[in-house]
């Protein structure tokens, strides 16, 4: 038996719902039929995807790894069959926030001039890899440590760190700040795609409190409300300037590396042209 897209969708539904019963209801099939489809996929692959020995259904280690590949494959097929995009093949560039900072406008305009036949779609995806592993995008701008198995990673440049403080904070009038000076404040930490953790501070001056958020909009709102201060990069004010927030250099904080990453092999024929242009613009 050869596995096909139906088997992948069945497996992903099971993984997402946590039970075969709920997945079967969502897919409008019977539970025995869905169990049979899962078993066929496992037999085709030669390993177990789901651990059925526990009370709650859990993916095996192999199933966890396969889930990422299956999601990327299904996303690619759905993209090809999307009627709204028939006749075009856009290049999808993901970012978690701020894209390429000050270089964003130049990249978009140069691409339009030099590659008018291929639309470049800039997509914000609130994930550490900006949706690359799931196949949501063809290439991604990734800040910080880029641990992306199976991807090509091109270092582009580095960004300095900035503190983001409420405009009415006693810190707002300072020309610069140190990590030690920020340690007395609660720190807003984006736990999903952020580049700031309390481990950035040297031992002995780690901030006592953090306010966890899951996206840049909530991070900014937390700072505006005066609940915390933030530590970010010079790209953030380009996309997230606000009259209630002041951005101040933090010279002793480590700089932030910025990378362009893409699938290997590339999921779009124009990815390498994008890498060449991005490297040229940011050099």
Cβ–Cβ under 8 Å, residues 166 and 221: no
- CATH fold match for the domains 88-158+257-282 and 161-254: yes
Supply the pLDDT for residue 258: 96
Per-residue pLDDT tens digits for 225-274: 999 999 999 999 999 999 999 999 999 999 999 999 998 889 898 999 99
Domains of the chain, by residue range, sit at 5-83, 88-158+257-282, 161-254
Cβ–Cβ under 8 Å, residues 248 and 175: yes
Q: What is the DSSP letter of 84?
A: G
Supply the pLDDT for residue 16: 87
Domain 5-83 has CATH 3.30.559.10: no
Q: Which CATH class is domain 88-158+257-282?
A: alpha beta
Distance CA 262, CA 272 (A): 9
Supply the pLDDT for residue 87: 55
Q: Which residues of the chain have pLDDT under 50?
A: none
For 145, 156, 262, the CA distances from 265, given in Å and listed in that order, are 22, 20, 8
Q: What is the DSSP letter of 231?
A: E
Supply the pLDDT for residue 86: 54
Supply the pLDDT for residue 52: 78
Helix axes 5-17, 20-27, angle to 10 degrees: 130
Cis peptide bond upstream of 265, omega within 30: yes
What is the third-level CATH fold of 161-254? D-Maltodextrin-Binding Protein; domain 2 (3.40.190)
Per-residue pLDDT tens digits for 213-233: 999 999 999 999 999 999 999
For 19, 50, 61, 281, the CA distances from 67, given in Å and listed in that order, are 15, 11, 10, 36
């Amino acid at each position: 038996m050869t596995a096909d897209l139906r088997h992948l969708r069945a497996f992903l539904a099971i993984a997402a719902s946590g039970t075969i019963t709920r997945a079967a209801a969502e897919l409008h099939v019977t539970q025995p039929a869905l169990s049979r489809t899962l078993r066929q996929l496992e037999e085709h692959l030669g390993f177990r995807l789901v651990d059925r020995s526990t009370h709650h259904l859990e993916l095996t280690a192999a199933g966890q790894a396969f889930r990422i590949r299956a999601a990327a494959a299904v996303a690619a097929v759905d993209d090809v069959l999307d009627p709204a995009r028939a006749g075009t093949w856009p290049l999808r560039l993901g970012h978690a926030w701020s894209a390429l900072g000050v270089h964003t406008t130049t990249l978009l305009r140069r691409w339009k001039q030099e590659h008018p036949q291929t639309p470049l779609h800039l997509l914000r995806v609130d994930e550490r890899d900006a949706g690359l592993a799931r196949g949501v995008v063809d290439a991604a701008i990734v800040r910080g440590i880029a641990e992306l198995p199976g991807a090509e990673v091109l270092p582009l440049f580095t960004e300095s760190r900035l503190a983001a403080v409420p405009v009415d904070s006693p810190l707002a009038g300072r020309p610069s700040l140190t990590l030690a000076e920020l340690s007395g404040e609660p720190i807003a930490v984006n736990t999903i795609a952020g580049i700031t953790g309390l481990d950035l501070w040297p031992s002995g001056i780690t901030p006592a409190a953090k306010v966890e958020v899951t996206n840049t909009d909530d991070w900014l709102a937390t700072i505006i409300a005066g609940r915390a201060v933030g530590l970010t990069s010079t790209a953030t004010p380009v996309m997230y300037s606000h009259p209630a927030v002041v951005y101040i250099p933090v010279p002793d904080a480590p700089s932030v590396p910025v990378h362009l990453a893409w699938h290997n092999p590339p999921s779009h024929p124009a990815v390498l042209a994008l890498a060449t242009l991005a490297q040229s613009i940011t050099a």
